[in-house]
Structure 1
Amino acid sequence: MLDLVQLDALFASAILLITLSLFTNFSRRHHKRYPPGPRRLPLVGNFFDMPATEGWITYKKWSDESGCDVVHADVLGSHVVILNSAKAANELLEKRSSVYSDRPRFTAFHVHVFLPYGDRWRRLRRAFNYHFDAKTSKEYRPLEMQAVQLLLRNLLSGPDNFSQHLRHWLPGASFKREAQKWLPVAESMMETPHAEVKAALAAGTATPSVTASMISQLGEGPTEDDIWVTKAVPGAMYLAGSDTTVAALSTFFLAMTLYPEVQRKAQAEVDSVTCGSRLPDFSDFDELPYVDAVLNEVLRWHPVTPLGVAHRVMENDVYEGHLIPAGSTVIPNVWAIMRDPVTFPEPNRFYPERWLVKDPPPAPEAAFGYGRRICQGRFMARENTWAAIVNILATFDISPVKDNPPQEVYTSGIISYPETLVAYIHPRSDTAAALVRATGIESA
């Protein structure tokens, strides 16, 4: 005979088994139209399947195992959809951008890239486009070149600190830090430049800048929204653009240590144009196709945002028979897209020549996002990164450090950097060092 304790335990077990059976059967019926993904657990779904590091690799594996380029995870009842191919990303984020242009609610980040889709975002986007479209971005070339020349002088005077030099003017924090720590930084990047430039305009000492131009255009009686836009555009440029440029240049340094033959070929092309007697500038761009190919390969080989910035679908949608529920977080796996072996043979190899064939692959624009959420500062970002790369190639050699071989291991987070970046930086010649010194003060 069973005692009461045993009966209670048996009854509880039976109830648990019945509940789990009903939940599992309901889940199978309820989720049968979702894209494939890892097996879900009751209640928590795929919470324990979500990767803490290198998510781009895990999500690609899910696609490979399921045979589907779109995969789904249920995280405590919230839907996450990952796009692992250019085909899926273009179909949903580009062609159906009217329903895929929202963002998940990043409550701590009230700047352009994280704003929800709506009137305020559209107004900010128009203002940003006015100052950073392909044509207007060229106006900032003199300032970009000044920054590059300061970087060169810092590399000359303190080559061991090259990682820190990449960040000079640039925020030291990265997006992977806790949102609460970022909140005062984000606010400061909106408020501080506006206040300083406004004071300089009143004193007649302001230098030309986006902020000065926007404040001057306000006119009389600006609304609160008008003033907010003049703060948000420069803040978004600084916050979203600086860390991404640092990440791209860090990948360039890593690639040069791993692929010295690429460095030599790029330097030979630069030398053929400048004859080693001057620093290259934007007027040389058309004569340096291999350097541009190096930049393309930097953006492809390890995108600065390997999982992009998440979108949010605003209404139920269907892709190839699979339901994507309204409110789902949609993640473009840019890393997987850029390493598709069909589009990019030998995808793990840093190989600029792939961009110089008769029918090259599509430019790595996925590195800058999709649809209505594509990075509006991409023109300036490309030019700024190109200017730094071509001038570093002209003046410095980048070599591995003895007994400390470079490793292609990257941090996880919205913006991704080489986990360890060690290199030996030295001038290519006395002439190259003299060219750097001739740009101004030797170091900052």
Structure 2
Amino acid sequence: MSFYLSAVGLISLVTLVVVRLLAKRTVNDLPLPPGPTPVPVLGNLLAIQRDAPWLTYKEWSMIYGDLIYTRILSQDAIIINSEKVARALLEGRSSNYSDRPRFATIELFGIAFRTVFLAYGNTWRLHRRLYHQSFRADAAIQYRPMQLQKARQLLVDLLSDPEANELEIHLQNHSASIIMSAVYDYDTQINDPLVAIVKGVMDMVIKAETPDKAAILDAYPILTRLPAWFPGASFRRHALHCRKYIPDMVEKPFEHVKKNMAAGTAGPSMVSESLKRIKPEDDFGQLERAIKESSATAFSAASETTYSTLLVFILQMVLNPPVQEHAQAEIDQVIGSDRLPDFSDRPSLPYIEAILRETLRFYPVAPLGIPHAAVNSDTYEGYRIPKGATLITNHWAMSRDESKYPNASEFRPERFITESGELNDDTAMFGFGWGRRICPGRFVADASLWSAIVSMLTVFKFTKVKDGHGRDIDFEPKWTAGAASRPVKFPCRIVPRKAGMDMEKLVHLIRSAP
């Protein structure tokens, strides 16, 4: 009997080893996903449109499908061009695709501490726990009164600038003021020095976070050692400049909270509430560092994306007057003209909701999202995904999926409304990411966008600028390049909808709001 059991055990072990070896050989023998043929050394680098790689990847999808293999120098990259594949891999197999690539540019610019770049591990989990405690769906409700207050301040700012000369500044200040309040209980001012620091850092980070630049430095790490004065080493100068301001971005707003807590004047915020949760038995140094770094990430990420999305919204209102008129007719029917909307009105304004969804769909402000990385080799529908490959989610291609969004190049909020006049199940949230890496602040961002959009549509009409003969001046929208993209400054007029609306009447309307 003992011999029999030993023999069975040995046979089982051999069988298991053989099965695993055959499985491994089978995986390795599978082809890579289809894609353009790479050239020696450079791979497909020269075939990619540098200012808008998402357009190249979308074009490739028409030839090779929704899962594409490409190589950028020495880096394997898998392009995901559809929601179906993104859900199957990044959500269905999230344990294998929740890591991030190790980009040399991230270390060089001193921004490896940001949550979005952290490796899938304990530090990342700690950051996510901090976000979840402050920004999960039920916790995000506490910020709504503040978000309405900030939206109404935006109305005051826009009324003072009818020609929209400072439109971008107004939207930047608005977006920054919300996240600074939520994260630090900090009231921003015009030309606020802290906001200026973060904006400067983010402008440099956006330029650094491109796959082609990262691939070049990853393939030739010796370039990171070039002196800043060396010809062609502008990235080194940018990196040095960025690293100079990183400590201020991380430390100064954090110290603001600690100072107010010591004085007993701190209001609720992500930082103050997180500090209060630290127990005597916790590792204080580790938690404090995580709070600093996660809060700095939240501020820098949220202010940029919210501001850019609001720019897309206003651009589309200027270009699509019938959409704007439909939205304002709904507001007039539900709200009337004697008050401003609040969150209790949201369920009664489905077309406004549809406009928000269509804004997110029409132009994802992070067209390629943040890349994922494969922890282990994998297979999908007969194709091999190599271990360590970078996975790029082409949100732009998803937004232009004609099978889901017919006439996708048109701004049509009606696509989110059923024949019975109700909202459908499509929230167009793919721009917030996937799986375990989905944006933890999406509920706060959603409320910030809705409150700003409905408030602006209630009070203003956004129109084209007219020439000396009273005719509309047409223009072709343009977009910035980089990991985050937004509309380039465009001509716009901001016209109060209500006759005789001036600053005194607007302030009265705001003050009379609950």
**TM range, normalised to the smaller chain?**
0.7 to 0.9
Structure 2's unaligned 5+ residue stretches are 1-27, 177-194, 210-238, 468-472
- Residue among 83, 89, 95 paired with 1:98: 95
Q: Does 1:200 align with 2:260?
A: yes
The 10-residue stretch of structure 1 (202-211 or 168-177) with the greater mean CA deviation from structure 2: 168-177
TM-score, normalised with respect to structure 1: 0.88
* Aligned equivalents of 1:325, 1:273: Cα separation in 2: 54
Question: What is the Cα deviation at residue 185 of structure 1?
Answer: 4.8
- Residue among 251, 274, 277 paired with 1:217: 277
Question: What is the Cα deviation at residue 212 of structure 1?
Answer: 1.6
Tell me if the contact between 2:30 and 2:382 (Cα under 8 Å) persists in the aligned partners. no
The 10-residue stretch of structure 1 (423-432 or 337-346) with the greater mean CA deviation from structure 2: 423-432
Corresponding residue number in structure 2 for 1:71: 68
* Aligned equivalents of 2:91, 2:245: Cα separation in 1: 32
3-state SS, counterpart of residue 300 of structure 1: helix
Question: What is the Cα deviation at residue 184 of structure 1?
Answer: 4.7
- Residue among 409, 428, 441 paired with 2:478: 409
- Residue among 421, 426, 430 paired with 1:366: 430
Question: What is the Cα deviation at residue 86 of structure 1?
Answer: 1.1
Corresponding residue number in structure 2 for 1:232: 293
Corresponding residue number in structure 1 for 2:400: 339
TM-score, normalised with respect to structure 2: 0.76
Tell me if the contact between 1:111 and 1:186 (Cα under 8 Å) persists in the aligned partners. no
Tell me if the contact between 1:163 and 1:421 (Cα under 8 Å) persists in the aligned partners. no
Corresponding residue number in structure 2 for 1:145: 148
User: Which amino acid in structure 1 is aligned with residue 62 of structure 2?
Assistant: D
Deviation per CA, 1:178-237: give whole Å up to 9, x if none. 472544555433322211110111122222222222222224474211111221332222
* Aligned equivalents of 1:284, 1:271: Cα separation in 2: 12
Corresponding residue number in structure 1 for 2:339: 278
Query: Structure 1's 270 and 217: CA in aligned 2 closer, same or farther, altered over 3 A?
Result: same
User: Which amino acid in structure 2 is aligned with residue 326 of structure 1?
Assistant: K
- Residue among 64, 85, 98 paired with 2:82: 85
* Aligned equivalents of 1:158, 1:198: Cα separation in 2: 37
Question: How do 1:10-25 residues align onto structure 2 when only pairs under 5 Å count?
Answer: none
Question: What is the Cα deviation at residue 370 of structure 1?
Answer: 0.3
Q: Does 1:389 align with 2:389?
A: no
3-state SS, counterpart of residue 295 of structure 1: helix
Tell me if the contact between 2:373 and 2:391 (Cα under 8 Å) persists in the aligned partners. yes
Number of residue pairs aligned between Structure 1 and Structure 2: 411
Corresponding residue number in structure 2 for 1:130: 133
Query: Structure 1's 435 and 289: CA in aligned 2 closer, same or farther, altered over 3 A?
Result: farther
* Aligned equivalents of 1:263, 1:184: Cα separation in 2: 44
User: Which amino acid in structure 2 is aligned with residue 126 of structure 1?
Assistant: R
Question: What is the Cα deviation at residue 335 of structure 1?
Answer: 1.1
Query: Structure 1's 352 and 186: CA in aligned 2 closer, same or farther, altered over 3 A?
Result: farther
User: Which amino acid in structure 2 is aligned with residue 409 of structure 1?
Assistant: K
Tell me if the contact between 1:74 and 1:80 (Cα under 8 Å) persists in the aligned partners. yes
Tell me if the contact between 2:338 and 2:509 (Cα under 8 Å) persists in the aligned partners. no
Question: What is the Cα deviation at residue 162 of structure 1?
Answer: 1.4
Deviation per CA, 1:292-347: give whole Å up to 9, x if none. 00000000000121111111111111122221111111100011112101111111
Corresponding residue number in structure 1 for 2:325: 264
User: Which amino acid in structure 1 is aligned with residue 87 of structure 2?
Assistant: N
Tell me if the contact between 1:113 and 1:240 (Cα under 8 Å) persists in the aligned partners. no
3-state SS, counterpart of residue 331 of structure 1: strand
Query: Structure 1's 44 and 407: CA in aligned 2 closer, same or farther, altered over 3 A?
Result: same
Corresponding residue number in structure 2 for 1:18: none
Q: Does 1:436 align with 2:506?
A: yes
* Aligned equivalents of 1:427, 1:284: Cα separation in 2: 21
Tell me if the contact between 1:250 and 1:421 (Cα under 8 Å) persists in the aligned partners. no
3-state SS, counterpart of residue 100 of structure 1: coil
Query: Structure 1's 187 and 327: CA in aligned 2 closer, same or farther, altered over 3 A?
Result: farther
The 10-residue stretch of structure 1 (417-426 or 53-62) with the greater mean CA deviation from structure 2: 417-426
Tell me if the contact between 1:343 and 1:361 (Cα under 8 Å) persists in the aligned partners. no
Q: How much identity, in percent, do the aligned residues show?
A: 37
Structure 1's unaligned 5+ residue stretches are 1-29
Q: Does 1:166 align with 2:178?
A: no
* Aligned equivalents of 1:183, 1:406: Cα separation in 2: 39
User: Which amino acid in structure 2 is aligned with residue 142 of structure 1?
Assistant: P
RMSD: 2.1
3-state SS, counterpart of residue 167 of structure 1: helix
Deviation per CA, 1:13-48: give whole Å up to 9, x if none. xxxxxxxxxxxxxxxxx9981112222112222121
Question: What is the Cα deviation at residue 166 of structure 1?
Answer: 0.3
